[in-house]
Amino acid sequence: MSTPTDSVQGSGTSLWRSLMIQRRVIGALMMREVITRFGRHNLGALWLVAEPMIFTLGVAAVWTAAGLNRSSGIPIIAFAITGYSSVLMWRNTVGMCSKAIQNNLNLLYHRNVKVIDVLITRIALEIGGASASFIVLTIIFVTAEWIHPPLDLMRVIFGWLMLAWFGSALALTIGAATAYSHIVERIWAPTAYLLFPLSGAAYMADWLPTAAREVLLLLPMVHSVEVIREGFFGGVVRYHYDMAYMAMCNLGLTLTGLWLVRDAGYRVEAE
């Protein structure tokens, strides 16, 4: 039989060894999650990309059919890809994290598994999935010459990373909050629907009247969507963003999330 590699799990655990254990645990959880979610007989982990891809294609098709593509000088397919991929980033990470703690309570019987590991696993998988689908979609459409390649790739990546940070922080906060009360997930569901059109996926800030724009720019994700699109299309419209504001929001959400996760760790009651 085999002895656990960290057979002494005492108070003397160094930070480095804790990190190694955590890395291993998250790796194991990810593997488990991927096999569970996608199975191994069909397309496997490809669904991580294929699922959002089908959705983006559908949205692009509807918008093209509705003739929205000629109204603004903005390339509609690139607009749809950037918009919907951005929504997936925060909507799916939060979606996968709400109820994640309750659904995985029994894993906590393994000493090394902590509440935060469960959340990090799901966040990482969702960010990976959303990023992979965004990249693959872009490559496919560029290759097919339906869209131009991004003008300023670094800017796109910057916007995307800021959005990933936002998604992670929001997922930590809401994921941990669902451990307190079922009401949180009930409220989150309609909120997510409401946020979809408001999040910047379906408009450019410049198209809006100034008053409306100022209100909508309170939503942190709008800023990163603007940055991603500026990187993608360049100067076809004026872009409105304040990344320092978004960073402050992200930081606040991250700290709130970490605090809630820590507190939830003390409150969980296993079965």
Partner 1 sequence: MILIEDVSKVYHTRQGPRTVLDHVNLRLEPGRNVGILGRNGAGKSTLIRLLSGAERPTSGRIQRKMSVSWPLAFGGAFQNHLTGLDNLKFVCRIYGVDYKPLVPFVEDFTELGVYFREPVSHYSHGMLSRLAFALSMAIEFDCFLIDEAMVVGDARFHERCHIELFQKRRDRAFILVSHEPNVIRTYCERACVLVNGRLHEFDNVDEAYAFYEAMPAGPPPAVET
Q: Under the rule (CB under 8 A), what is the footprint of partner 1?
A: 1-11, 21, 24-25, 27-28, 31-32, 35-36, 39, 105-113, 265-266, 268-271
Q: Which is nearer to partner 1, 17 or 213 (CB)?
A: 17
Give the C-alpha separation, 160 to 183, whole Å: 30
Nearer to partner 1, 5 or 210 (CB): 5
Number of alpha carbons in the 13 Å side-chain half-sphere of residue 172: 24
Tokens representing residue 105 in the block: 């309570």
| Contact in structure between 106 and 147 (CB atoms under 8 Å) | no
Nearest residue (CB) to partner 1, 7 versus 210: 7
Q: Quote the Cα angle for 266-267-271, to 5°.
A: 115
Looking at the Cβ atoms of 104 and 138, the one nearer to partner 1 is: 104
In the bound state with partner 1, the residue whose beta carbon lies nearer, of 38 and 196, is: 38
Would you tell me how many other CB atoms lie within 10 Å of the CB of residue 15? 7
Least distance from C-beta 91 to partner 1, angstroms?
Answer: 24
Q: What is the DSSP string of 134-184?
A: HHHHHHHHHHTTSSPPPS-HHHHHHHHHHHHHHHHHHHHHHHHHTTT-HHH
Site of tokens 């659904």: 103
Q: What is the nearest approach in angstroms of partner 1 to the Cβ of residue 116?
A: 14
Q: What's the closest the beta carbon of residue 57 comes to partner 1, in angstroms?
A: 28
Say which DSSP state 69 is in.
Answer: G
Alpha-carbon span 227 to 258, nearest angstrom: 27
